[in-house]
């Protein structure tokens, strides 16, 4: 099943090294998921219910021979070697990724004078490229995710310091707003108040690409017309646009949460949690920057 989150791209199958063949004949993210229950079904004509369990139901994802089927004669039972991902893995990896990002931002903020600005732009550019590589190649390992968090932390530290210099206290307000939205969407997801359906996914992904297109058009028009389309000039239209972007980012969190649950249900390997942590980090950083921008509009008016 494809990922609901566009950041995760083409699904689970290639997220970890070893890909689809490691997690069953067609991969845990590929069509043919139903083959988990056996090639011929558990009650195929002419077969008895009393046949061996492994032949009756098929082997589970990634299980070595002997886990879901009788071991060959003379060989001992071999336990599975793959540890499957749990929600604890997601929480731990995501928490560590955010911690690295915050520490990097704090270190840059603590630098004297404007020294941070010399590091901010290169760090953001490298983080942007690294993020694209992680997303398109579905790299799931701690080095890639933590490096991305550290690099973006450098940029966030410089940007946050600049905003806080002009609008004292705005960073604290943006952090509170960001975690408020995060917690609110988590509650909404866990209670089932809003369910992630294919229709909702299409709407969110469509809105995301629409926002991206408007930002690019506004940027291009800004080269010829001061203020561009007025989406980022602090006026009423800019405020409405920021609210829309915050809404899209908030609903993207629902897709991230659903991605984590889906990966756990499908028996993803434990290290896939690093890929989910990357996706959550991307969404939360985007949400924070947009809330920071929106608060600055209110400070100017």
Q: List Cα–Cα distances, 107 to 75, 94, 120, 249, 288, in angstroms.
A: 56, 20, 12, 27, 18
Note whether 103 and 136 are same-domain residues: yes
Distance CA 91, CA 96 (A): 8
Note whether 72 and 96 are same-domain residues: no
Residue 27 lies in a domain: no
Please list the residues that pair with 269 across neighbouring strands. 84
Note whether 228 and 142 are same-domain residues: yes
pLDDT tens for the 301 residues of the chain, in order:
444 444 444 444 444 444 433 333 333 333 333 333 334 333 444 444 344 433 333 444 444 444 344 444 444 444 556 788 999 999 999 999 999 999 999 998 888 777 677 788 888 899 989 999 998 888 888 999 999 999 999 989 989 988 998 899 999 999 999 999 999 999 999 998 999 999 999 999 999 999 999 999 988 988 888 878 888 888 889 999 999 999 999 999 999 999 999 999 988 898 899 999 999 999 999 999 999 999 999 987 6
Residue 13 lies in a domain: no
Q: Is 45 left (phi over 0), alpha (psi -120 to 50) or beta?
A: beta
User: Which are the contacts of 19, defined by CB distance < 8 A and separation ≥ 6?
Assistant: 13, 27
Note whether 129 and 254 are same-domain residues: yes
Number of domains composing the chain: 2
CB burial string 78-90: b at 16+ within 10 A, e below: eeeebebbeeebb
What's residue 81's pLDDT?
66
Q: Is residue 114 within 8 Å of 108, Cβ to Cβ?
A: no
pTM of the model: 0.72
What's residue 253's pLDDT?
94
Note whether 169 and 237 are same-domain residues: yes
Note whether 247 and 142 are same-domain residues: yes
Residue 251 lies in a domain: yes
Residue where a domain stops, chosen among 55, 82, 109: 82
Note whether 78 and 91 are same-domain residues: no
Q: Nearest CA to 105 among 293, 237, 289?
A: 289
Domain that holds residue 46: 37-82
Helices (H) and strands (E) in the chain, counts: 9, 0
Distance CA 166, CA 286 (A): 21
What's residue 68's pLDDT?
41
Output DSSP code: residue 194.
S
Note whether 68 and 167 are same-domain residues: no
Q: List Cα–Cα distances, 285 to 222, 253, 282, 293, in angstroms.
A: 25, 11, 5, 12
Distance CA 81, CA 45 (A): 34
Distance CA 90, CA 186 (A): 14
Note whether 43 and 119 are same-domain residues: no
């Amino acid at each position: 099943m494809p990922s609901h989150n566009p950041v995760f791209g083409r699904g689970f199958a290639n997220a970890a090294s070893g890909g689809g063949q490691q997690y069953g004949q067609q991969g845990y993210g590929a069509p043919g998921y139903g083959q988990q229950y056996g090639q011929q079904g558990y009650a195929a004509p002419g077969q008895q219910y009393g046949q061996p369990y492994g032949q009756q139901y098929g082997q589970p994802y990634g299980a070595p021979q002997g886990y879901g089927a009788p071991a060959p004669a003379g060989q001992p039972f071999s336990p599975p070697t793959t540890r499957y991902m749990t929600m604890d893995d997601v929480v731990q990896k995501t928490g560590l990724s955010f911690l690295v990002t915050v520490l990097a931002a704090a270190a840059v903020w603590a630098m004297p004078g404007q020294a941070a600005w010399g590091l901010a732009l290169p760090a953001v550019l490298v983080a942007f490229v690294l993020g694209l590589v992680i997303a398109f190649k579905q790299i799931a390992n701690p080095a890639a995710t933590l490096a991305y968090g550290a690099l973006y932390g450098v940029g966030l530290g410089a940007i946050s310091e600049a905003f806080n210099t002009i609008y004292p206290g705005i960073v604290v307000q943006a952090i509170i707003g960001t975690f408020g939205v995060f917690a609110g969407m988590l509650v909404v997801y866990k209670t089932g108040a809003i369910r992630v359906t294919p229709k909702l996914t299409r709407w969110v992904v469509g809105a995301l690409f629409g926002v991206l297109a408007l930002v690019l058009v506004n940027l291009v028009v800004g080269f010829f017309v001061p203020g561009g389309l007025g989406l980022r000039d602090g006026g009423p239209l800019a405020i409405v646009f920021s609210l829309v972007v915050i809404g899209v980012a908030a609903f993207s969190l629902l897709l991230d949460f659903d991605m984590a649950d889906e990966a756990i249900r499908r028996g993803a390997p434990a290290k896939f949690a690093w890929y989910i942590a990357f996706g959550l980090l991307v969404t939360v950083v985007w949400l924070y920057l947009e809330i920071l921008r929106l608060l600055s509009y209110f400070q100017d008016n």
